[in-house]
């Protein structure tokens, strides 16, 4: 295969970049001649360039690497853009998490009001990115995993209805991986039926083609009796997956997305959270520090053997989607798409996460052809409405709509607290947010 593709990674300074690039380089069906690292933070982009160049040399990988902070250079003649930008970076994530916690409300990067704070920031930055991409490469596929994804997808649909964008989240893959590994299944044999909003959904069935049956009920039983095997997880994720046992004990009809813990058990999550040291702090001391340490090792030529970036599950998912588009493979992925009847009894203008086939013609969502239960529907309707109100607030610069969005969010106990947190976030976000009046 001749080398022909150019891929740009937007938000290249992220600690996920080495894993994604190694996945691209190892993928048999993608023949990439150039990777462009694009980030508006020049220092982080330069750090990543240094790391990637080191890895390419160490592994004898032949590719043209470009680093740029200029959108024209980043997007002209490109074939794919992978976006993982995080507007406001980890410092703002810390505020998203800590401000609600001051009021005894869940603080999380994508769920609850932390997700809404990030959402208003992220829409602003992401729509600018899409504008640049539309200008320099209107036909390019954008593979997006910038959060919070439902809010991003809703805003892009409104502002750039013709943009070629696929919104994907790796969470269901991670759930399937840990379930398969915990109980000795082979996930390659699975046809999962999943429905929900992003970070807010349930499995309806998991058909195993080798066992010739739906194994979701037995998976739920196993989680109830044994719990998931969290021995390979870092503490934060180990806690999350341990909580899954409680979720299925109380609601055993469906295997849930772990993120539902923030909406169903905010009381327990608050007890498990240290308001002085949240996930953002763990990442500052973990992934972020690893980047800085790695840069230092390369610059001083010391301890190079300990540099341990590997091809990642996270990267695998996004790269598989690109390969499915490129080679018309009809791969099946859970993607974030306009509902339009995919979940028949949910409002059709919701943005949902459902199984989709990906081929040269783009994304083909499946229709579930069954009505989801009222419990799930009710939770989702409230979430859809609150997210839509937030997107309205963004486009209309409306404080009122933002207050309604915050009040309706199911992690929030009352409108007084909603307003206090909203006002704190307005101050904390400054120019990252649109003006609200
Ligand atoms: C999962 C979710 C992502 C989220 C990430 C957070 O992969 O699907 O949307 O950003 O977890 O992980 P972190 O390690 O940054 O807390
Ligand atoms: Mn996600």
Q: Which of 259, 262, 288, 309 is catalytic?
A: 259
What is the pLDDT, as a whole number, of residue 313? 77
Q: Residue 181: which residues within 8 A CB-CB, separation 6 or more?
A: 229, 232
Three-class DSSP category at 27 = coil
Over the Cα atoms of the chain, what is R_g? Answer: 21
CA dihedral 401, 403, 406, 409 (to 10 degrees): -70
Long-range contact pairs involving 42-46 (C-beta distance under 8 Å, separation at least 24):
42/69, 44/12, 44/13, 44/291, 45/12, 45/13, 45/69
Distance CA 313, CA 422 (A): 36
pLDDT of 149 strictly over 80: yes
Contact present, 46 and 291 (Cβ < 8 Å): no
152 lines ligand 1 (CB under 6 A): no
How many angstroms is it from 282 CA to the middle of ligand 1?
13
pLDDT of 137 strictly over 60: yes
* Segment holding 316, helix H or strand E: helix 313-326
Closest ligand 1 atom to Cα of 279:
16
What is the pLDDT, as a whole number, of residue 310? 85
Largest alpha-carbon pair distance within the chain? 61
Closest ligand 1 atom to Cα of 169:
8
pLDDT of 226 strictly over 70: yes
For residue 122, the ligand closest to its alpha carbon is: 1
Task: Clarify whether 170 is annotated catalytic.
Answer: yes
pLDDT of 349 strictly over 90: yes
What is the pLDDT, as a whole number, of residue 68? 98
pLDDT of 334 strictly over 90: yes
**What band does 312 get if pLDDT is binned at 50, 70 and 90?**
confident
Angle at 185 between CA 184 and CA 188, to 5 degrees: 145
388 lines ligand 1 (CB under 6 A): no
Q: Residue 382: which residues within 8 A CB-CB, separation 6 or more?
A: 408, 410
What is the 8-class DSSP label of residue 358? E
What is the 8-class DSSP label of residue 287? I
Unique residue bearing structure tokens 């409108």: 415
Q: What is the pLDDT of residues 72-123, one digit of tens each?
A: 999 999 999 999 999 999 999 999 999 999 999 999 999 999 999 999 999 9
Distance CA 248, CA 335 (A): 24
What percent of the chain has a predicted confidence (pLDDT) above 70?
99
Q: What is the pLDDT of residues 375-407, one digit of tens each?
A: 999 999 999 999 999 999 999 999 999 999 999
**What band does 311 get if pLDDT is binned at 50, 70 and 90?**
confident
Q: Which of 132, 170, 320, 424 is catalytic?
A: 170
What is the pLDDT, as a whole number, of residue 18? 95
pLDDT of 437 strictly over 80: yes
- Going from the C-alpha of 267 to that of each of 105, 235, 414, the distances in angstroms are 9, 19, 15
What is the pLDDT, as a whole number, of residue 2? 53
- The pTM of the full predicted model, rounded to 2 decimals, is 0.97
What is the pLDDT, as a whole number, of residue 53? 97
78 lines ligand 1 (CB under 6 A): no
Residue nearest to atom 14 of ligand 1 (CA): 283
pLDDT of 128 strictly over 90: yes
């Amino acid at each position: 295969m001749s080398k022909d593709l150019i891929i740009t990674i937007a938000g290249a300074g992220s600690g996920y970049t080495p894993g994604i690039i190694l996945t691209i380089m190892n993928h048999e069906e993608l023949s990439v001649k150039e990777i462009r690292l694009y980030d508006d933070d020049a220092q982080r982009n330069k750090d990543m360039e240094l790391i990637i160049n080191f890895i390419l040399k160490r592994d004898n990988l032949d590719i043209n690497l470009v680093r740029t902070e200029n959108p024209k250079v980043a997007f002209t003649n490109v074939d794919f853009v992978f976006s993982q930008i995080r507007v406001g970076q980890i410092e703002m994530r810390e505020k998203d998490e800590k401000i609600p916690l001051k009021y005894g409300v869940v603080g999380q990067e994508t769920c609850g009001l932390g997700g809404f704070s990030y959402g208003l920031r992220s829409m602003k930055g992401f729509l600018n990115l899409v504008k640049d991409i539309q200008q320099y490469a209107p036909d390019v596929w954008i593979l997006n995993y910038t959060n919070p994804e439902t809010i991003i997808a809703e805003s892009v649909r409104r502002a750039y209805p013709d943009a070629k964008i696929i919104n994907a989240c790796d969470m269901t893959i991670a759930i399937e991986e840990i379930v398969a590994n915990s109980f000795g299944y082979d996930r390659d044999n699975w046809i999962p039926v999943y429905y929900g909003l992003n970070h807010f959904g349930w499995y309806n069935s998991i058909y195993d083609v080798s066992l010739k049956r739906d194994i979701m009920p037995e998976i739920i039983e196993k989680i109830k009796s044994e719990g998931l095997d969290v021995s390979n997880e870092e503490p934060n994720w180990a806690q999350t997956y341990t909580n899954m046992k409680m979720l299925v004990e109380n609601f055993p009809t469906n295997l849930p997305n772990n993120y539902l813990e923030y909406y169903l058990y905010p009381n327990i999550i608050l007890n498990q959270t240290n308001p002085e040291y949240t996930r953002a702090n763990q990442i500052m001391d973990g992934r972020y520090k690893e980047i800085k340490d790695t840069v230092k090792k390369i610059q001083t030529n010391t301890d190079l053997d300990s540099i341990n970036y590997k091809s990642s599950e996270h990267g695998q998912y996004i790269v598989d989607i690109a390969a499915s588009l490129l080679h018309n493979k009809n791969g099946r992925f859970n993607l974030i798409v306009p509902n339009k009847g995919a979940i028949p009894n949910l409002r059709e203008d919701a943005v949902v996460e459902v199984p989709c086939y990906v081929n040269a013609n783009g994304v083909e969502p499946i229709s579930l052809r069954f009505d989801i239960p009222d419990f799930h529907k009710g939770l989702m309707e409230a979430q859809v409405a609150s997210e839509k109100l937030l997107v309205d607030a963004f486009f209309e610069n409306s404080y009122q709509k933002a207050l309604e969005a915050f009040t309706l969010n199911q992690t929030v106990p009352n409108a007084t607290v909603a307003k206090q947190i909203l006002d704190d976030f307005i101050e904390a976000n400054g120019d990252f947010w649109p003006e609200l009046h």
